[in-house]
Every structure is written in C-alpha cells, then in structure tokens.
Chain A
Amino acid sequence: MSFLTGPMRKHLNGHKELTNHEDVLKVEVGNLVKIPLLNGNAPCTPCVKENDVVKVGTLIGERNDHFYVPLYSSVSGKVVKIEKLMSTALRPVEHVVIENDGKYEVERPFEPLDYESASREQLVDFMKNAGIVGCGGAGFPTYVKYLKPQNIDLLIINAVECEPYITADYKLMSENIDLLVTGVKALFKMSCAKECKVAIKVTKKDFIPVLEKAFANAEGISVFAVPDVYPMGWERTLVYEITKKRYDKLPAEAGCIVSNATTAISFANALVNGMPIVEKMVTVAGDGVKKNCNVSVRVGTSAKEIVAALGGYACDNVLLIAGGPMMGKTITTDEFVIGTYNNALTILKNKDLEALKCLRCGKCSDHCPAGLQPVRINNAKAAHDLDTVAALDAMSCIECGMCTYVCPSKINVTEGIREAKRLLALKKKK
C-alpha cells in the first residue's frame, strides 16, 4: 500500500561512524551534582531536604501522579539545596543539588532479584521500585507496559537507534552483552509473549552475529534486522515493519510490547547488581564539539562538564541539542544535566538556512511516518482553518522532524505542525 501513502520513512545519513569506533570516555561528575526532579515531562517531588546526607542509591525524589517513578542519587554527599534550574524539558524544574564528596558510597535501595525464580508480578514490582524508565528518549515508566499484558504475541526489543549521530545504545550493548541477554529474558518473561525479537539495523553487520550468538540458546528470542531508515525506532514504524500491523493507541492492540535495549540493560543491572539508573552512556557528537565519542557519566553531570572533557566547543555559535538532531531540543545553556533517560548530546555549528516558498512537492506527506500531510496542515493553519487541521489529524503528529528534514525549501514544517497542535489544543479547552 505504500504507493498510496509514500514510503513514510527515509534513510538519513546517521553519522554513526563519528562515534562508533571511539572508546567510551568516562567523565567524572563535578563537585556540585544537580539531579533533575523530572520524569519525561512530569515533575517529581523531592524526598530529601537541605543538609540530608545521601549515598549512591538513596531515594531523593518520586513521581507520584498516575505513575510511580522513584529517583535515586547518583553520588554520595550532602544535599545543598533544591533549586529550579533549566532542564532538558526546555523549562526550569526543581533539581536536588548535592555536594559530591567523591566517595561514591553505595546504599542499595533494593536487593538483587533472580528473574528466573521470581514471579511475573514480583518482577513488575521490582521494576517499578528500581525506577526503570524507557531509554528511547521519553522516559516513560517501563513497568506500566508490563502490568497486565493481554494477548501479547511479541516482545520487541528496540535496538534500532535511528536518530542520527547517536551510538550510545550500540556501545552499551556491545559492552554489556550479558546484561542485555539477562534483561531481555526477564522482559520476555514479564511480557508473557510467545516470541521476542531484538530489532537492529541491518547495517550493523558486525554486531548482528554477536547478538545472534548471545541469544542462540534463548528460546523464542531472535534477532530481527530492520532497514536503516528513520524513524525505524518509532514504535508504530517498528511494529508495522515486523508484524505489518497498525494500531490505534498502544502496541498491545497489535499484540506487541516494545522496550528499548538500554532499558533492558538498566533492568538487568538492577536485577543483578541491585543498582538503579545512576550512570548513563551518552553520545556526544556533531561538528560543534572538538572530540566526538561516547561518554559514560553519572546522572547529574552537566553538559558543560562533558563538553569540557571533550576539548570544548568547536565554534562560538552552536546548537546544543539534548538528544539527536531530529527530535532533540536545543537548549540555550550548557548548565543542564544528564537525566536518567538522556542518551545523547548533539552539538552542531549554527548555520543559517533561508527558507523558500513551499513548492508543494509533497515530500513531507510522502515521508510522514504518521501518514499526515504536513504541508496541508500548515496551509490550513495559515488560513486559520482549524477544522481542516483537525480533519488532517494533526494531533497524530509525533514531531519526529521528518517533514522539516525532507523539505527542499528548508521550511520549518514541524514547528508549524506544533503550532497547529497548540491551536487545536487551545480550541479544545475553550
């Protein structure tokens, strides 16, 4: 049916070679560590106060709305204050500021668990307490997906990493292959699925055999090679690629659960070592930073510290992006810190692009992975025709950035859709 919808995806130059073969650099965190009280877009409440002494693994905050997500300290030391600082959510949020004593004393918040002997419910509880969040970028609490799996046929482990520049998942997987296997097996058990597929780009030719070998003895788990296109790592695209099924809201409708490979590793780390997410693998890449490589940092390390460890910026005017260049947000300060679900800093030279008039080429419509017609949404928005904006299903936009990427006239299409969505949301409120 793709001839009626367009390809809905596109191969991008991933620039993966910049960091693929570089060794991982360990960047030490500074004296003052700021840990954002943030999960996804939701704020968390602090569980510590000034002058409290914390260790690595001490609970310092909780998300307590309809989901529960605990936040743990990544260093040992004394809480200095709780302060509103700029965050990767593009707005100031509360951070727990800890004076790092440099000792990294550990206080295990939970004991390791043998996933083979534990029950499914025990594992879900364990996952919830360990604060395991989706590491694809959004930080969605993982346990929610596994609460009541019904009619699940397939567990998909997403190791696609389709954002350009980012190789953190790949690096983490290649360094922690045993944890990956453990984590995937545990998730597989929790999902009650009949089958598990580890999806990885077909272009990772050297790594696919490694994975296949690692999962050779795991019954029901196989490696599934997917094309090197964007946004292959998006749930809907990935589920469709593997099952040829579309779904309305959740992958469960198509009998699937999708979890990130890094999530599986984090989970395994909790199961085996009794450690929550206190360290992150972060790709730092782009022509705006002197050295490109993956860094291993504690949660709470600021972008400034990481860039300084890599030789500094390559020019005076950069786009500092938390995440990859497609979906990551530019942040106007490098004081923000790495949270539990950040995996990349993309630093690009700021080049001015001049937009031409839209030539109605329809490339945005052809490539929209959600099947939208961005050009028409923007035109309707410009004409203040919100009914048409709604009819064009603008709310299904995931802001993957494809429309802006493909636009030959260099129009900020995605930003237009965001505005259209905001206008729709405003209208709904009224």
Chain B
Amino acid sequence: MKFTFKPSPNYRDSQSTQSIMRDLTIGLLVVFAFSLFYYVTGENLGVNYALRACGLLVTSVISAVVTEAIYFAFKKEPIIKSIKGSFGWVTAIILTLMCPINISYYALAISTILAIVFGKLVFGGFGQNIFNPAAFGRAIIMASFAGSVAVDFATSATPTASFAASGWLMSNETFSSFIAQFGGLSEMFIGRYPGAIGETSALVILLVGAFLVYRKVIDWKVIVAYLGTIFVSTLGIGLVNGQGMWYPIFHLLTGGVMFGAVFMLTDPVTNPTSSAGRIIFGIGAAFFTVLIRIKGNLPEGVLYSILLMNMLTPLIERLTTGNQIKIAKKNMRNVAIIFVACLAILLGVSTTMEAKEITINEPVEEIDGITGTAQGFGGEVSVTVATDENGIITKIVAEGTAETPNLGGAAISTFNSEGFAKFEGVALAEADFDTLDTITGSTVTSEAVIEALKQTQGGQTTTQEVTEETTAPTTTEEIDGIVGSAQGFGGEISVTVATDENGIITKIVAEGANETAGLGLDAIETFNNEGFAKFEGVALAEADFDTLDTITGSTVTSEAVIEALKQTQGETTTETTAPETTEAATEENDGIVGTAQGFGGEITVTISVDENGNITSVVAEGANETAGLGLDAIEKFNSEDFTEFEGVALAEADFSTIDTVTGSTVTSKAVVEAAQAAQSAAQQ
C-alpha cells in the first residue's frame, strides 16, 4: 500500500490548456467554415476560392508544425509531445484567417515560419512570447509580402480600405450608397463581403466568441473593454464630425475589429494576467486601433494596436501590482483615467479629420452607343454616348477602371452622376464637350474623358474643330520632298511629296501623329500603304488629289490630307524635310520653344540665345500643372535650376542634370523633355 505525498490541493478543474486550445481550434474552424460557405456561394467567387482557402490553411498549419518539429529536434526535445504542448497550429489558423484570399502560398508559408520562430520559439516557446505570434506573422506579410498575391484570384476593394480612403469620414448620403456596395450594414454583420479570409463575419465571430466565453476559454473583459471603447470613442468622433449612428457601428463591423477582439486580444500569453490589467489592455488596444484608423497611414489599425499593446503588457502588469482587493480603488481610478484620456485624445485628434472624396464602385451602367477612348492617367478611359434616332444624346457613361480610385476614379464617378447630365438632350454633333467641368486634381483623367467624348463626335462625321492633343508615337518613312500641311482632327497633318527631276511623283508620305488612334491614324496608314499609290508616276502639277478615296469615319483627317497634298502643288519650289519628332519645336520671336506633356497638360520651355549661341534665359511655362505641386516645381526650375544654364552654349547644355522635384516627377520630367526638345530643334 502506497501513500503518496503531494502538496495540496489535490483537486483539479477539468479544464486544461489542451482543452482550451481544442475549443479555440474548433471556434476558429467554425469561422473558417463560414468563409468557405461565403466563397462557394458568393457572387463572382466559387469553389476554387474555397479550395484556395483550404490550401492556404493547410500550407500554414504544415509550415507551423514542421517548423516546430525541426526546432524541437534541434533542441533534442521529444518532438511529438513538444508539438502537442506548443500549439503552433493555433497561430497558423489565426494567421491564415487574417490573410486575404489571394495571398501567395509562399508568402503565407514564410510568414508562418517567421511567426513561429521569431514570434514564439526564440522567446522560449509557448507561454513566453511577448508578441502575439499570429499578429507578428501578419505584420511580416504587411511589411514584406503585400504584393505577393495570386493574380487569378481577384479581390475587390474591402470596406475598410475604401472607407479608409475617405479619411474615415463620409456624409450620410455617401455612406448609404457606399455601404450599399457591400449589401448594407446588416450584410456586413453577417459577413458576406470582401475582406480577409476569416475576419468578415461579425455574427459568426461573436457567436464563437460567446461559446468560448461560456467555455471559459477567453476572458470577456478584454472583448468588452475593447469593443466598448471603440464604440464610445467612435460614437464621439462621429458626433464631432457630424456622422450618423452608423459610424461607430461601421467601425465595429469593419476590418479586423471583431476577429482581433475575440481571437487575438484574448490571447492569454500576451495579455496582462489581472482583470484590471486586461481591461486597461482592451482600452489601450481600442485607442490605438481608432487612432491608427483616423490618423495613421495604414488603412486598418487592429493589427498594430495588438502588437503595441503586447509591448505595453509588462507596464500594465506593473501598474496593477498588489493585492487586487486592497488596490481596487487605485485600479478603478487608473482604468477611469486611462479610458478618459484615450477618449479625450481621440476626440481631440478627430477634430482635425478631413473627409476625402472616394470612388464608389457602383456597377457601371452598360449602354449602347458610340464609344470613344483616350489615354487617362492609369490606362484607357472609354466613354459611351447613347443617342436617339435624331442624334440627341440620351445618356453618357464613362468608364476608367485603371484610374486611381480616389482621384481619377472619383472624377469619373462624378461625371457619370453629375457632369454628363448637362449634355443630355443636346445633339451629339453640337455638344461642346469642352464645357465639361474638369475635376481639380484629376486633370489628366478629365481631359481624357473630354477627348474620348470628342472622338464620339468624330465618329459622327462632325466637322467640329478639335485642338486637343494626344501623344501617340508613330514612325513614318522619312523622305525628301515637298511638304504640305493642314489641320487634321488632332493636330497638324503633314504630307511630303517626293518627285524626280521631271516633277513626277515618286512617293507620298502623310504624317499626323496627333490623329486619333484607330480612326485618323488608321486612315493615314491606309493612304500611305494604298491610297497614295495611284498618284505615283503622275506629275505632281497634274495630280488630282481630290480623287483620293476618303476614309469613312475619318473625314476630317482625309480632307486634311487632301488639303495638304494640294498645298504641295502650290509650293513646288519649297524643299523641306519632314519634321522628325512629334514634339514640334518652333522658333518664336524671342527664343526657341520646346514642348512636352506634363501632368496637367502641355509644358513649354522657351530658350533664348545670343548671337554666339549662348543661352541668355530659359523659361518654363505650364499653366495646367497642379497648383502647389507641378506649378511650384516649374517656378523652382525658373528661379533656380535654369539660371545655371545662362551663358552656357545651347549646344552643350545638358538639361538632364536638372534635379527633379519630389512629388512632381511628371512635371519635372516634362520640363526636362521640353527643354531638350527646344535644344534639338535649335540644333536643326
């Protein structure tokens, strides 16, 4: 008979760390299951999304477990037992749920390994780590693998990112159309909207959270302190900035708030151990979350708020040192002070918040009509104009998916919703699209829209004069001959007619780089390849250029070509060379002028030289550049950089040495280009 000695108590709760982690794993998998359901049933998603989510989860879990196995083998610890007591898979699941669906497998695997090794094992393993390992891994992804995504898995803009772009402020009307994109607040609560794999469903996360609280796996106090502080502070911020009751609710539902509250902030290892400490922890995390959101450079603050509070945990522990009954008043006071201070700072900071315009990606209405396209800032901008049988505009819709969401994209939305309205009811042929109000800050897009609009008129055989220019580089055969020019659709069209000594046409080349691609440019090409052939062998003086077959849809260009051809008949004595570049350099009365396309429009640089060819002055001009950016840059060039070239021989001046101005790269480059254009023009 053996009587064993063991110190009291000899009675244990049935709950164990293993059962806690098992419950947590089950909870996380329920959240994951909802995601699979969403991927399978969601619009524009499908089974391959669900399979990818599973693949990511498996990748991460295997990475975590294998990493730990190698580590324990290296440390000569029993591998299976140590892995069972290290719970690396929980980190892996949490990390996966925080990632977007299109994250690359290798990015997730590497960040999992780093999270396990540097987030946990180097601190001494489970229970010893300072940072939440999953948050640690997510931060690695944000810092290093933000662009490592699978392109065939499209992710649309998340509510958080879109709302963050608005500066976390929005008018009530804008919000209702904004939130409608995601199915409204109720749908956001349920969680069927784009976001991280496991962060979207507040409903499921809260249900799982309630289960875990009931099972005493997590502490409700952290969750309540965190969500409560976010609610109260954002309610206050909303009131200060005239937001509706939706504002705090949106803050709670969007991003990683719910997921962070239930699964990350409650991580016991990186939490203070006392109740008072955990309440302070929750309040502090809420403070940083909201602060980073409304004032930080990041769209979302949950992740870094967790990591920041992890760092503050030892301090909070120190603050709550003592017998909790005896220092209850002190704890209460500290909690109150911290809460009020956090609230005050957030409210104070929120008074300087500024709303920014954002795009609301409403589905673009598809209409039948004439379509014109032009080069915008980020890519092609197309405009479709619908007309009735009398040619009266009924509807105009612009589309430019490649435009910057908050600038060009916003401009296009504004045009669609407001700007185009004034053209409705006007005959397309007579519409003066130059009167479209351009959007400040989105000059390039605005002009591209106008250009595309005008193109639709060209398609309608309109004779309206167009002065807008585009840059479409073309290469044309260069020949010597008599040059004629005429105004085309997009700019000057020049035609060079080469003749032999007897005045017989040997070759005709037309050039009109500024003509619309697909229309005027095609016409010119057709003329060069086919149309002009019939004049070869004919005496220039006797050629009847009116017989040139005009191209349907490019009447203006065709007629300009004919006009230019006729000019060569009148000026048979002039021998010129065809211009080399499209950036025409013209010598004006007081200097040589070069132009280039800036950010907002054409930039001209005028170079004056003395009789020895030395520069006396260089002046840049670009009235369409953005005030405060491009305009300032030009002023800086005029007052500083260009003065250095005075007295230098124009032929030897190296304009490429001009320092570009940060933030105005496009303008800077255009100025340099224009100066170089002027220089090369002068050399000719």
Where the two chains meet, the residues of A that have a C-beta atom closer than 8 Å to any C-beta of B are 1, 3-6, 8, 10, 12, 164, 246, 313, 316-321, 324-334, 346, 348, 350, 353, 356-366, 368, 370-373, 375-376, 388, 391-393, 396, 399-402, 404-410, 412, 414-415, 418
Contact = CB atoms under 8 A, between A and B. Distances in A.
A164 B8 CA distance: 13
B89 to A, nearest CB: 15
Given A4-B332, A318-B3, A418-B7, A404 B12 contact: yes
A392 B20 CA distance: 27
B323 A371 contact: yes
Contacts of B673: none
Nearest to A369: B325
Contacts of A410: 12, 16-17
The 9 closest A-B pairs by CB, nearest first: A401-B9, A371-B325, A362-B273, A325-B11, A371-B324, A393-B323, A361-B268, A357-B127, A415-B7
Interface in B203-232: 216, 219, 221
A5 B275 CA distance: 5
Contacts of A396: 323
A362 B275 contact: yes
A138 to B, nearest CB: 14
A361 B3 CA distance: 33
Given A317-B4, A334-B3, A357-B126, 8 more contacts: A4-B276, A317-B2, A330-B6, A350-B4, A402-B9, A404-B12, A408-B20, A418-B7
B411 to A, nearest CB: 52
A419 B268 CA distance: 25
B74 interface: no
B393 to A, nearest CB: 66
A329 B276 contact: no
B275 A365 contact: yes
A391 to B, nearest CB: 5
A348 B320 CA distance: 38
A105 to B, nearest CB: 35
A406 B128 CA distance: 20
Interface size class of B (residues with CB under 8 A): 35 or more
Chain A contact residues, majority secondary structure = loop
B127 A359 contact: yes
Q: Main secondary structure on chain B at its contact with chain A?
A: loop
A357 B85 CA distance: 8
Contacts of A316: 1-2
B12 A405 contact: yes
B321 A365 contact: no
Interface in B1-48: 1-13, 15-20
Contact of A4 (B85, B128, B328): B328
Contacts of A366: 219, 274-275
A410 B22 CA distance: 16
A330 B324 CA distance: 31
Contacts of B8: 321, 325-330, 399, 401, 404, 414
A373 B269 CA distance: 15
Contacts of B19: 408
Nearest to B280: A4
Contacts of B628: none
A360 B127 contact: yes
Given A330-B4, A360-B269, A4 B324 contact: yes
B317 interface: yes
Interface string B272-292: 111110110000000000000
B63 to A, nearest CB: 22
Contacts of A6: 274-275, 324
A211 B127 CA distance: 50
A3 B279 contact: yes
Contacts of A353: 12
B531 interface: no
A360 B269 CA distance: 5
A4 B125 CA distance: 30
Nearest to A1: B328
A1 B126 CA distance: 32
A159 B85 CA distance: 42
B331 interface: yes
Given A361-B20, A376-B321, A405-B9, A318 B279 contact: no
Given A360-B269, A362-B273, A371 B12 contact: no
B456 interface: no
A408 B15 CA distance: 6
A388 B10 contact: no
Given A356-B17, A361-B20, A401-B8, A246 B3 contact: no
Contacts of B608: none
A330 B128 contact: no
B273 A246 contact: no
Interface string B366-394: 00000000000000000000000000000
A327 B9 contact: yes
B325 A246 contact: yes
B271 interface: yes
B75 interface: no
A409 B2 contact: no
Contact of B5 (A328, A332, A362, A370): A332
Nearest to A348: B10
B322 interface: yes
B326 interface: yes
B13, B128, B216, B322 — most chain A CB neighbours (10 Å): B13
Nearest to B219: A362
A415 B19 CA distance: 24
A412 B332 contact: no
22 contacts: A4-B324, A5-B331, A164-B11, A334-B1, A346-B10, A356-B127, A357-B127, A360-B270, A360-B271, A362-B268, A365-B275, A366-B219, A366-B275, A373-B274, A392-B321, A392-B322, A400-B9, A401-B11, A402-B9, A409-B16, A412-B7, A414-B9
Interface string B533-552: 00000000000000000000
A391 B317 CA distance: 12
B335 interface: yes
Nearest to B128: A357
Contacts of B7: 330, 412, 414-415, 418
Contacts of A317: 2, 4
B17 A409 contact: yes
B214 to A, nearest CB: 14
Contact of B3 (A327, A331, A346): A331
A6 B328 CA distance: 11
A359 B126 contact: yes
Nearest to B6: A330
A332 B85 CA distance: 32
A361 B13 CA distance: 14
Interface in B288-334: 317, 320-326, 328, 331-332
A362 B222 CA distance: 12
Contacts of B271: 360, 362
A356 B15 CA distance: 13
Contacts of B221: 3
A78 B320 CA distance: 61
A281 to B, nearest CB: 21
A47 B13 CA distance: 46
Contact of A362 (B2, B3, B12, B278): B278
A324 B332 CA distance: 36
Contacts of A356: 17-18, 85, 126-127
A12 B326 CA distance: 26
A372 B127 CA distance: 20
Interface string B251-274: 000000000000000001111111
Contact of A405 (B13, B275, B279): B13
A346 to B, nearest CB: 8
A361 B12 CA distance: 16
Contacts of A5: 275-276, 324-325, 328, 331
A362 B274 contact: yes
A128 B289 CA distance: 65
B330 to A, nearest CB: 10
Contacts of A370: 323, 325
